[in-house]
Copies of this chain bind each other. A is one copy, B any other.
Amino acid sequence: MAEGIKLAIVGATGAVGQEMLKVLEERNFPVGELICLADPREAGTRLKFKGEEHIVAAATPEAFKAADIALLAVGSDISQMIAPDIVAQNCVVIDNSYAFRMDPEVPLIVPEVNADDIDWHKGIIANPNCSTIIMVVAVNPLHQAASIKRILVSTYQAVSGAGKAGLDELDQHIHAAINGVEPILSVFQHPIAFNVIPHIDVFEDNAYTREEMKMVWETQKIMHAPELRIAATAVRIPVYRSHSESIYIETEKALSPQEARQILADAPGVIVQDDPLHNTYPMPLFSSNRDEVFVGRIRRDISSENGLAMWVAADQIRKGAATNAIQIAEIVSAKNLY
């Protein structure tokens, strides 16, 4: 332990990978050795960490021999392919993709909610979907207090959910709209500048997108609440990096907005921003580059008996991805679970 963790980051040149480097540095994670890996085409890229330059290497199987923990910030197909080999080399995988999240042998972790599930990992730990992480940090404390029966959520998701390519595409589409030229569609199905696209990830047979179903399946798993009923509408909007969510919950026990506000004020990882008369509520622009989940607009759902409405925003790249993964790594490290 004294010498620190030998940490590999796969996908180090991507939006989440680069954010991981920042978060590791900010949180002073006990890095013994840092191994930056990526697609062979990215090999040779230089990245800065704690003032030192690191040269990105190709993510070959041998690269993990020296690593204790590998943070995977790559697509599901790549994770699926490389994770078992990494685990076979006695390196714990914290995977940011969808590949293993619903595997009953793999814990799916949001540290503020189910940190103890890390204890039973068998080599792979999954980092949840960004919209799901943000939602469960905000609703789990209320579930503990009053038992949530049902959640109806509509999201307002930043383009960073589509990685660096998504950020670049919003830039290009904004310039195209202003200058009257054609937007180039590569990651989005339609122009995203001054538009809204109610379509994230592929459509499932039930007419929900996979993004929407992730918010159902993953929330039930993280909160240990298989009976919790959830419906989601996931929407891409022209915002850079923070997701917002309009959430309606129905609880078993009555909970007043004031009680909910108090519970959330005491909850880990949550900042209550709920002073509407001073125009204070969560907004993506002001929750970007922050690690907390911001909650506000807490009020009775006037259409139901035991219902609350609330508005949540948080940085998709940080708490929705990089920060959550590193919080998991911190626990793996502190508990010697590697």
Binding site for B on A (CB under 8 A): 150-152, 154, 156, 174, 178, 189-191, 194-199, 203, 206-209, 216, 229-231, 233, 235, 237-240, 244, 246, 248, 257, 276-277, 279, 281-286, 296-304, 307, 309, 311, 313
Contacts and interface: CB of A to CB of B under 8 A. Distances in A.
A5 to B, nearest CB: 36
A207 B260 CA distance: 14
A302 B178 CA distance: 40
19 contacts: A150-B303, A150-B304, A152-B303, A190-B286, A194-B238, A194-B240, A203-B276, A207-B276, A207-B299, A208-B299, A229-B302, A230-B302, A230-B303, A231-B303, A231-B307, A233-B311, A235-B244, A237-B237, A238-B238
The listed residue with most B CB atoms (<10 A of its CB), out of A194, A235, A279, is: A194
A94 to B, nearest CB: 30
Nearest to A313: B196
Contacts of A244: 196, 198, 235
Contacts of A206: 299-300, 302
Contacts of A197: 283
Binding site of A, secondary structure by majority: helix, strand, loop or mixed?
mixed
B156 A195 contact: no
